[in-house]
Structure 1
């Protein structure tokens, strides 16, 4: 029996599984995000990962003598080739397994969402990213470095833009919006401007602006036009990423799967998903959308099982764990 270590290291949380080659999950650990770009550097990210790997091994009942054949490690922040090399070297040096696979966490989402060879995946959680593949082996990626590479979306953008609109409504530069009261209420302050001042003065408050994404969606569902316009913009950005990937793969006129995942998309907000569906239907009418409900670490584990050459039954058993 071979053992597999699967890791999904996201912006906000990290999940680690220890499995065997039949797809049985033996141990699990959950902890904070391990994106080296946002965690405070590679050293802190690796410390978090080492702690979680040790916890997962302990939960699996492994001794120090028990070797793991393969580590399938999929991390947010593995965006540029130089970062991928840096992370792969760090994982190898950590000695978690005899061999390792290291890549961007969006690939784990893609595998969790579909085995189809012609497919793209868009993740929208704290940030936003996209990858795609074609049956002939071609792949597409995006740098996903934020505003400087043309990206917009995810909680880290939705929260601040909601506060931007709320602040402008209060000082008269923008239309009135229910976001003003909703945002002030979320932080227990008297106004949206007070929230902005608190975020400016206190990095702890500033780091919490992503919490406003659910507030934004709730305000949108209540019918607020400003909030709805932000949600529509987010849907358009998700669709644009998918369409661009399909176009680069020359799949816009072919059947293909569009996998959606991440906290913003898993919520299945009706306006958000209607916008995505409509934009995709206009540009790539044969594409089919699927929303991933399995934890992304399942995709990492599936990629590991693929590399180990296991049977289809192993994948089914693994998915049974994810829905238990």
Structure 2
């Protein structure tokens, strides 16, 4: 066995990127976390994202005595790679910088590989945004959602935080329906006047503040707030739209396994929200889908995938 060979597994997102280094036998020997790697939000687009990825990969490799030339294969699930053209552009940019053999796909597909035992099914992911990806037994892939307002995405963290602020704003200044989110928002941020509320919009740029607003939203939903329940129903309906579209495109037959992933689904949303998605799917398709929450990190899906691509053992004790 050529011990100079190594493999990479990468999960690149909007706020962080997870890296795993595998040796020639397929065992994970090193891991690190880097910064954001989404080409849509980084300066320089595809090239800028490739520069970030190559820099962090090179550091990981060097720490273990490897170089880019030793990488035999890499599986990279990257946020922002929403179309084949984008994935190819990222792959070409990485290749031009020395990573000659790699497979780039949307990070949503990693959830299928890690969240479904046989790798056949669908992953609906809600984190900062939402996306839905699936694979069938023939290896065909399909993805819907993931491009924000252009695809009507709702239910991601950014959108939920904006909904909370918007609901309070419209009540205060347009006389729209009262929401308990108003009192909760004022208490959380010690806001006392409408003018102070307007100024608090700057908090939307703060990640911790956004997380707090997401928590407020789900508390309001659980306690029966009309606006929060209405939004949750729309988000559940959009999730069902995406899941059914992926299933129909891939001609998946029941029972279709659906893994729910991302920080909203795994750490924030109460079981009530998952049941809303289940109900919406049942209402339209009957007992066609089986949903479960996947709490394993998506990068483990990249690890599994690179092992499968290179006929390496899947389990290491």
Select which of 33, 56, 73 maps to 2:76.
Answer: 73
In structure 2, relative to structure 1, the CA distance for the partners of 1:116 and 1:194 (3 Å cut) is farther
Q: 1:129 deviation in Å?
A: 1.2
Secondary structure of residue in 2 paired with 1:36: coil
CA distances 1:153-197 after superposition (whole Å, capped 9, x unpaired):
301211111111111222352222221133344444435764444
Q: How many residues align?
A: 309
Q: Is the 8 A contact 2:6 2:73 kept in 1?
A: yes
Give the CA RMSD over aligned residues: 2.6
**Which residue pairs with 1:316 in the alignment?**
315
Q: Does 1:57 align with 2:49?
A: no
TM-score, normalising length from structure 2?
Answer: 0.86
Q: 1:4 deviation in Å?
A: 1.2
TM-score, normalising length from structure 1?
Answer: 0.85
**Which residue pairs with 1:12 in the alignment?**
15
Q: Report which stretch shifted further, 302-311 or 216-225.
A: 216-225
Instruction: Return 5+ residue gaps in structure 1 as ranges.
Output: none
Distance (Å, rounded) in 1 between the aligned partners of 2:84 and 2:195: 41
Q: 1:106 deviation in Å?
A: 0.8
CA distances 1:230-258 after superposition (whole Å, capped 9, x unpaired):
2232222212211122123333x622111
In structure 2, relative to structure 1, the CA distance for the partners of 1:55 and 1:294 (3 Å cut) is farther
Q: Is the 8 A contact 1:121 1:258 kept in 2?
A: yes
**Which residue pairs with 1:218 in the alignment?**
219
How is 1:291-306 mapped onto 2 (pairs within 5 angstroms)? 291-306=293-308
CA distances 1:82-139 after superposition (whole Å, capped 9, x unpaired):
312210111112324x521111111111111114354111111111111222224443
How is 1:109-258 mapped onto 2 (pairs within 5 angstroms)? 109-116=111-118, 118-142=120-144, 144-171=146-173, 173-190=175-192, 194-199=196-201, 202=202, 205-206=204-205, 208=207, 210-211=210-211, 212-251=213-252, 254-258=254-258
In structure 2, relative to structure 1, the CA distance for the partners of 1:69 and 1:186 (3 Å cut) is farther
Distance (Å, rounded) in 1 between the aligned partners of 2:112 and 2:8: 19
Q: Report which stretch shifted further, 5-14 or 215-224.
A: 215-224
Q: Is the 8 A contact 2:258 2:290 kept in 1?
A: yes
Distance (Å, rounded) in 2 between the aligned partners of 1:195 and 1:21: 57
Instruction: Return 5+ residue gaps in structure 2 as ranges.
Output: none
**Which residue pairs with 1:88 in the alignment?**
91
Distance (Å, rounded) in 1 between the aligned partners of 2:119 and 2:8: 24
Q: Is the 8 A contact 2:50 2:90 kept in 1?
A: no
Q: Report which stretch shifted further, 222-231 or 9-18.
A: 222-231
Distance (Å, rounded) in 2 between the aligned partners of 1:110 and 1:302: 11
Select which of 32, 38, 42 maps to 2:41.
Answer: 38
